[in-house]
Amino acid sequence: MKREDEPAAVEKMAMRLENLGEKHALHVSGQELRLCINNSRKAIRAYQEALQVLKVCETECEMACTALRRQYENNYLDARKQLGKVLAERLFPKLNVGSKSDKAPAAEA
């Protein structure tokens, strides 16, 4: 069962408890469960919204990194035209495109 489906299952249980009647000892538990269900649904919605925001931010970060690399290359090419290859390479060293985790040194055993 998915987490998104759990509140519906608990809601069925709460309905059964409330149908027992107000005089039954578990009737109050049904009302408490409904409060918990509402809080759970709010939390699930907030989590899903946060995931969407995270995906948007990751996409924007990738786009910014791409634009930065493109501009770096353009600056290198402009410097190479005006200053020559040796000085341009000194001013704009080659970029390593790999992630930081790929470059991390291996832990010694």
Answer whether 91's CB lies under 8 Å from 72's CB.
no
Residue 57 or 4, more confident: 57
**What is the predicted pLDDT for the residue at 46?**
96
**What is the predicted pLDDT for the residue at 100?**
56
Answer whether 27's CB lies under 8 Å from 20's CB.
yes
Instruction: Show the tokens assigned to 85.
Output: 């290859």
Answer whether 33's CB lies under 8 Å from 13's CB.
yes
Encode pLDDT of 74-102 as tens digits.
999 999 999 999 999 999 898 776 655 54
Residue 108 pLDDT grade (very low, low, confident, very high; cuts 50, 70, 90): very low
Residue 98 or 53, more confident: 53
Q: How far is CA 17 from the centre of its chain?
A: 38
Closest CA to 40 of 22, 98, 32, 15: 32
Measure the CA–CA gap between 57 and 65, rounded to whole angstroms: 12
Average pLDDT, the chain: 85
